[in-house]
Amino acid sequence: MMKEAVIRKLVSLLVLVMLAVNIVPFTSMAFASAETTNFVGEEDDITSETNVKTMVKVYRELIKRVHKVLPAGILDRELVIEIEHLTNITDAEIDAMSVDEATEILKNMTKVYNELVIMFEKTTPANVTVNIEKTIIREVTIAIERIGKKLNDTMIATKIREVSVLIEKGNMSKAIKLVKEIEKIVHARKAEKFSKVMEDLVERYVRYIENATEIHHALLGISRSIMAMNKSIQVLENVKKILAQHNVSEQALRAIDRAIASITEATKTLRHVAEIISTYASVSKKAAREKAGEVIKKAVARGINTTLEKLLNEIEELNETLARLVEKAREYNDSASIELAENCSIILANASNMLEEARNALKEGYVSRAARLASIVKGLVGEAENIIDRIAGRLEEVVEDVTEIISEFRDKVARLEEKLRRLNETIRACFEKAHRFRHREALSHLERAREMFENAVEKLEEVKEMLENETINVTMVKNLIRDIEQLIDEIGDILESNEDLLETIEEAIDEIKEKIDKLKDSITELNETINDLEEKAREINATDVLGLISEARKIIINVTSMVSEAENALEEGNYTLAEELADRAEELLDEASDIVDEVMKKLGEIMHGAEELRETIREFRDRIRQLREKIMEKMRSPEANRSLLRQLLEDLNVAVQKLDRAEALVSQGRIDEASGLVDEVEEIIRYVEEALESM
């Protein structure tokens, strides 16, 4: 039995180490790059499927190695055939198996493995057992050495050499002890590597979403990212379960917990970002369509900023709680709690520094980096929370005086009352804004927050009543306080999300209001311009122009009505209708502006033409005056053809009459008619000039 126990112990150790070799590959299968559309989102349970197949590969190698060191001829032929069948299954064949097939194979393998172990007890001499121990430990060290090289860890390499020396000396117990120590280091390193993978994962997903140029692409990216992250969380939970079963270091488990907390917080942030994008798109469809990239970037930044603000509050609260616990630990001289508190203080300081770094990154526009840092901060905050819970638990064991316990509970109740008071104020303010915006989704969230608030208040009253009694159920009070704190956290999450939604709505509404205000200003300016143009058009009796002005006025009346309807729709919370009316009014106002531009052009042409005609008329009057003077001079000559000259004077009189008529027509804006008369006058003047030259 001793031999069997030793071999089982060694083989179990080999199983653990071989799993360590395989943990990273099977974990990475659950991760999909956010830069492609191949997100993990299938219905298959990748976590359990991959784990089963990994175990099949591990036991295949175990059976192969143990069979190799067994004395020849001790196994019956049927078992040998089964061993050959199981050890010849390739990785590709295992990967192609269904979960059920892999599970069935694994059952057969464990059965064969157990039979092999029994053979050791029955047939293996002591010296062979030692050789087997050495062989298995060598397998373990080879496996760990491979991990050490992958992790590039010199400490592991050094300890592996120590194991080899111990094996050669035959000091198996020390070798086993050292291998276990190395195994814990390996898992700690692997766990840290997981955390790094998680950080990269968050940054890639956020960058993919941030760079989306269409709303539906961003929302689809968020949905797929959340699915992939949830799968990653499942994988990490499974890894943690495996590690916990094999009693690995607390450091490794903490690293896994940090990674889980990081990814969980990232999924919350992405859900919040999706809400912001959807809310903005529902309020301002045109802006969401035309400025999608800008809307998405702003939403991602806002979602991360909310997460950072929440983490800042959490860090501040944890520091306050830690300070109270340290004071209590010093009072009771609890050195273990003080040491834990010092570690926790360092973690919170790191979290604060990283949070500040994240805020700076966000200000500078490095959104995906800020998201990565935020996820790391959440992991540190989670670790600090766990340590604080451990300190609180230790101090509860130290404190035995019921009066003091009640006093501590009362202090906690006072703090909870203050938190609830602030939450109540925030709920009221949010309700007021949500009612003003008539936003049903926000109101629904707030109703849920109010119900949770009332539930928390009831539980707090119950705690206060219990504290009035001389004998209290400490466990019950602790559970109630824990429930209240959880409700407060959930209410806080709802309110933070809701405040962002309401701010998003307010921004979208402000944009619509700004558009309406601009429309009203444009209407006023356009009306003033039209009035001026109409006055000028009436002065010159430009009937065509007056017709265009009338058309523009009708459009402006329609636009004014639409703007009024848009304001009413906005007041009633119908933002989509308000935006549609404002957009249509903007289009119509552009049409009216085009007509006014045409009116200005026509009036300009008319005014320019009129001025040119007036100048021509003045010029022709001067020429007529000069021609009359020439005629009168010729009339004084004895040889003059007086009858012709009198006829020419008569023609010039007609020309003057035509010019007078043309001048009147110009004043009336009848430019074409005036121009015709001026042309006739030009012909008369030319005729008279030619006649005078021929005399």
Report yes or no on 665 lying in a domain.
Answer: yes
pLDDT score for 491:
92
Residue-by-residue DSSP string for 169-180 = HT-HHHHHHHHH
- d(Cα 189, Cα 20) in Å, to the nearest integer? 11
CB contact at 8 A, 186 and 147: yes
Looking at residue 400, its pLDDT comes to 60
391 falls within a domain = no
Let me know: does 12 contact 37? Beta carbons within 8 Å.
no
**What are the backbone dihedrals phi and psi of residue 394, each rounded to the nearest 5 degrees, phi first?**
-60, -45
- Torsion angle (degrees, nearest 10) of CA 467, 470, 475, 481: 0
Residue 296 lies in a domain: no
Other C-beta atoms within 10 Å of 99: how many?
15
Domain final residue, candidates 183, 207, 231: 207
Whether 394 and 335 have beta carbons less than 8 Å apart is answered as: no
Cut 0.85: pTM above it: no
Residue 202 CA to residue 358 CA, distance in Å, equals 14
Parts of the chain with a pLDDT under 70:
1-51, 69, 72, 117, 120-153, 167, 172, 187, 194-195, 245-249, 282-290, 399-403, 470-471
Whether 598 is in a domain gets the answer yes
Residue 546 belongs to some domain of the structure: yes
**Contact yes or no for 371/202 (Cβ under 8 A):** yes
Question: Is 498 part of any domain?
Answer: no
Rounded alpha-carbon distances, angstroms, from residue 276 to 115, 262, 311, 492, 499 = 61, 21, 19, 17, 10
In one-letter notation, the amino acid at residue 11 is V
Q: Is residue 291 part of a domain?
A: no
Tokens (6 digits) for 676: 């015709």
Distance separating alpha carbons of residues 453 and 425, to the nearest angstrom: 11
> SS3 sequence, 96-143?
HCCHHHHHHHHHHHHHHHHHHHHHHHHHCCHHHHHHHHHHHHHHHHHH
Buried b (16+ CB within 10 A) or exposed e, 320-357: ebbebbbebbeeeebeebeebbeebbebbeebbebbee
What confidence score (pLDDT) does residue 136 get?
61
How many CB atoms neighbour CB 145 within 10 A? 17
Cβ atoms of 112 and 150 within 8 Å: the answer is: no
Mean pLDDT, rounded, of the chain = 80
Could you tell me the CA-to-CA distances from 508 to 156, 278, 281 in Å, in that order? 58, 12, 9
As for how many domains the chain has, the answer is 2
Cα 493 from Cα 491, distance rounded (Å)? 5
Residue 403 pLDDT: 67
Give the residue from 174, 207, 240 where a domain finishes: 207
Boundary-marking domain end, from 207, 233, 252? 207
What is the per-residue pLDDT for 410? 87
Greatest Cα-to-Cα distance within the chain, rounded to the nearest angstrom: 167
pLDDT tens sequence across 592-609: 999 999 988 888 877 778
Tokens of 323: 């300070």
What residues make up the domain containing 81? Answer: 1-207
As a whole number of angstroms, the distance between CA 46 and CA 509 comes to 45
Residue 308 lies in a domain: no
